[in-house]
């Protein structure tokens, strides 16, 4: 006759053994994921306008004045903070050479890219002024104004389009090809409206804020090429970093990305570049 207490004892030992293995396996997975995340790099910096900060002019409005003049949009071609000289809307993007590939990076769940990127018509301007998306994301065009707008996209590698968008309406566009440089969007109904769309096959793009600050997260370590672009100057061909002056006609600069923070500090751009 089999001793029931003995059976229960053996089962208990086996159960403890299985649970121990599960705990170890879970620890290994979590630890390896944490180590992988720690190996990624973050690039940050602040682009500063060197010279007397220009004042953004109010745009000439000639249509739907009752609506558009309420907030009266300004010329966003060159926006500089009057106090700290920060240069707004500088696009900083990782650029791959022909045939070059990025290693596969699994982003943490809280940093995964949204499926859609919204660019809406608001206060008779484009919001955001520069929309950034990957070829796997969907561009959603909206209209928050009580007047109709058109969105004309002068794309080069993707099919250009000109879509009428009524109040409260949205139109979705899938841009499956990389645009080598920012593509301009405009509104034929309201001639002063202008914005930009940046389309890449990776998420390593940033647009500087009103103080010139930018940040690109989750970069794989290594030496990578980054491009600096601003709509009035085009490619920022001359800049001064803490390491010294750098110059390239296409705004291309190689940077070594190490795990953790990679701080460029202030990046100075002379006013003569915008003349």
* pLDDT tens, position by position, 219-238: 999 999 999 999 999 999 99
pLDDT band at 20 (very low <50, low <70, confident <90, very high): very low
Residues 230 and 149 in one domain: yes
Give the integer Cα–Cα distance in Å for 187 and 172: 17
The yes-or-no verdict on residue 8 having pLDDT over 90 is no
The phi and psi torsions of 90 (rounded to 5 degrees) equal: -90, 125
pLDDT band at 1 (very low <50, low <70, confident <90, very high): very low
Residues 112 and 244 in one domain: yes
Average pLDDT estimate for 38-42: 87
pLDDT, position 14: 55
pTM given for the model: 0.85
Residues 28 and 16 in one domain: yes
Residues 142 and 9 in one domain: no
Residues 118 and 243 in one domain: yes
Residues 85 and 201 in one domain: yes
% the chain with pLDDT above 70: 86
Residue 146 sits in a domain of what CATH number? 2.60.40.420
3-state secondary structure of 234: strand
139, β-bridge pairs = 117, 173
Residues 29 and 140 in one domain: no
Number of domains composing the chain: 2
Residues 18 and 97 in one domain: no
The yes-or-no verdict on residue 17 having pLDDT over 60 is no
Residues 122 and 106 in one domain: yes
73 in Cβ contact with 62 (< 8 Å): no
The yes-or-no verdict on residue 32 having pLDDT over 60 is no
239 in Cβ contact with 246 (< 8 Å): yes
pLDDT band at 13 (very low <50, low <70, confident <90, very high): low
Other Cβ atoms closer than 10 A to 39: 13
Average pLDDT estimate for 28-40: 48
Residues 32 and 81 in one domain: no
Task: Count Cβ neighbours within 10 Å for each residue of 94-107 and write b for 16 or more, e otherwise.
Answer: bbeeeeeeeeeeee
pLDDT band at 265 (very low <50, low <70, confident <90, very high): very high
Residues 256 and 145 in one domain: yes
Angle at 235 between CA 85 and CA 214, to 5 degrees: 45
The yes-or-no verdict on residue 35 having pLDDT over 70 is no
Give the range of the structural domain holding residue 227, as residue numbers without chain letter: 42-274
Give the integer Cα–Cα distance in Å for 196 and 33: 36
Give the integer Cα–Cα distance in Å for 184 and 169: 21
Give the integer Cα–Cα distance in Å for 107 and 36: 10
101, β-bridge pairs = none
Residues 17 and 122 in one domain: no
CA–CA distances in Å: residue 250 to residues 29, 87, 187, 235, 239: 43, 19, 28, 5, 12
pLDDT band at 9 (very low <50, low <70, confident <90, very high): low
Residue with tokens 């890449």: 200
Q: Over the stretch 86-131, which tens digit does the pLDDT of each residue have?
A: 999 999 999 998 888 899 887 777 888 999 999 999 999 999 999 9
pLDDT, position 37: 58
């Amino acid at each position: 006759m089999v001793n029931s207490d003995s059976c229960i004892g053996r089962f208990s030992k086996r159960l403890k053994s299985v649970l121990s293995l599960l705990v170890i396996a879970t620890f290994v997975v979590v630890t390896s994921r944490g180590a992988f995340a720690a190996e990624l790099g973050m690039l940050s910096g602040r682009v500063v306008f060197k010279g007397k900060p220009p004042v953004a002019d109010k745009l000439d409005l000639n249509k739907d004045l009752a609506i558009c003049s309420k907030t009266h949009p300004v010329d966003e071609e060159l926006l500089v903070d009057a106090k700290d000289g920060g240069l707004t809307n500088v696009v900083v993007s990782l650029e791959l050479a022909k045939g070059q590939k990025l290693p596969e990076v699994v982003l943490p769940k809280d940093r995964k890219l949204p499926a859609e990127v919204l660019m809406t018509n608001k206060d008779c301007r484009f919001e955001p002024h520069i929309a950034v998306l990957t070829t796997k994301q969907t561009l959603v065009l909206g209209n928050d104004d009580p007047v109709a707008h058109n969105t004309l996209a002068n794309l080069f590698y993707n099919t250009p389009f000109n879509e009428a968008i009524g109040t409260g309406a949205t139109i979705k566009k899938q841009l499956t090809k990389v645009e080598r440089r920012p593509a301009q969007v405009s509104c034929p109904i309201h001639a002063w409206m202008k914005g930009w769309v940046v389309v890449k096959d990776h998420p390593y793009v940033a647009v500087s804020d009103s103080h010139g600050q930018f940040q690109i997260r989750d970069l794989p370590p290594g030496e990578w090429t980054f491009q600096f672009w601003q709509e009035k100057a085009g490619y920022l061909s001359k800049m001064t970093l803490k390491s010294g002056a750098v110059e390239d006609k296409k705004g291309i600069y190689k940077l070594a990305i190490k795990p953790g923070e990679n701080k460029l500090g202030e990046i100075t751009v002379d006013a003569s570049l915008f003349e």
